[in-house]
Amino acid sequence: MIDQAGSTIAAGQRVALALEYHGAGYQGWQAQYRPGTPTVQETLEQALGRIAAAPVRVQCAGRTDRGVHASHQLVHFDSPVARPVRAWVQGANSLLPDTVVVKWARPVDATFHARFSARARRYRYVIFNRPVRSPHLAALSAHFPWPLDEVRMEREAQALLGERDFSAYRGAGCQSRTAMRNVHFIQVYRRGPWVIIDIQANAFLLHMVRNIAGVLLAVGSGQAPAGWPAQVLASRDRTQGGVTARPEGLYLVGVDYPPAWQFPDEQPGPPWLAALGTGSS
C-alpha cells in the first residue's frame, strides 16, 4: 500500500484509524460521558477533538468490555477539518495516554463503516496456566491455577463452529436483535504455561468470548464432562453456561474487511505473545 503519512485528509473526508489499547482502567470501549467513568472511546475522541479543534465522534468495529484489551481495533470518523495524516497519528498519540495508541490513519470512501463493512472479528483469550499467579501479568492475562488439557479444550470447542444460536453464551444485557452468529474457527493451543483460545466469527454477542472461555476452562480442567460445550449451546439457556471468564485475558486482535479497502496486513496480537509463537497467523 502507498505510504500516505505525508498526505492531507480534506474536511468532510471519512478517516479510518487502527488502534491498540490496554483495557485495564477503562470501563470498556463505549463512551458514557459521565465524570469518573473513563472509556476508550471518550479518551480517543477527546484527543481527536483537540487535533480538529472541533468535536469528533467515532464508530468502532466492535465494542470491547471493561478491562478488555485490543491489539487491533478499527474506527472511523468524518474529519471536520483538513489535517495531514500525521496529525491523526503522531498528533493524536502525543495527546493520548500510554494505554491508547493510534497505529495508522487512512482516508476512506464515505461508504466505509468500521462496524458494518467488517466481515469478521477475531479475539484471543490468553490464560496463564500455573499454580501461582504472576504479579507482572495480572492485567495482561487470565490466571488459571489448575492443570488444563488444551487438546481436549480444542476438540470440544469444534462443536461451536458454524452459524448457530448462541443464546446460551450471550451475556445479560446484550442488545443484539438476534443471537445467531457464525463462528469461523476456534483454536486452543499451549506455549509453555500459556494457553491461548483463538476464535473468529462474523460478529460476537456481549460476553460471548468470555462465556465460551469459561465453558472451555471447565472442560479443560476436568470440572465439566466431554460434550458440555455442545450441550450448553443446544440449551439456548444462559443459566446452563457456567461462569464468565475474567476480562483481563481477552484481546481483540483482528478485524477483517474486503480487500478493496486495501488496509495494511497485520499479524494478530497481542505483540508480546508473538515471542512465544502462535498456533496460526
Q: Where are the beta strands (DSSP E) in 2-97?
A: 8-9, 14-21, 59-60, 69-78, 83-84
Residue 223, Cβ neighbours under 10 Å: how many?
Answer: 11
The 10s digit of each residue's pLDDT in 151-205 is: 999 999 999 999 999 999 999 888 899 999 999 999 999 999 999 999 999 999 9
The 10s digit of each residue's pLDDT in 239-249 is: 888 889 999 99
d(CA 31, CA 23): 13
Report the CATH number at residue 186.
Answer: 3.30.70.660
Per-residue model confidence (pLDDT) at position 90: 96
Domain match, 127 and 188 both: yes
d(CA 176, CA 227): 27
pTM above 0.85, yes or no: yes
Domain extent at residue 137: 120-252
Number of domains in the chain: 2
Per-residue model confidence (pLDDT) at position 5: 55
Domain match, 127 and 142 both: yes
Report the CATH number at residue 90.
Answer: 3.30.70.580
By annotation, the residues acting in catalysis are 65
Per-residue model confidence (pLDDT) at position 1: 35
The 10s digit of each residue's pLDDT in 81-110 is: 999 999 999 999 999 999 999 999 999 999
Q: Is position 281 within any domain?
A: no
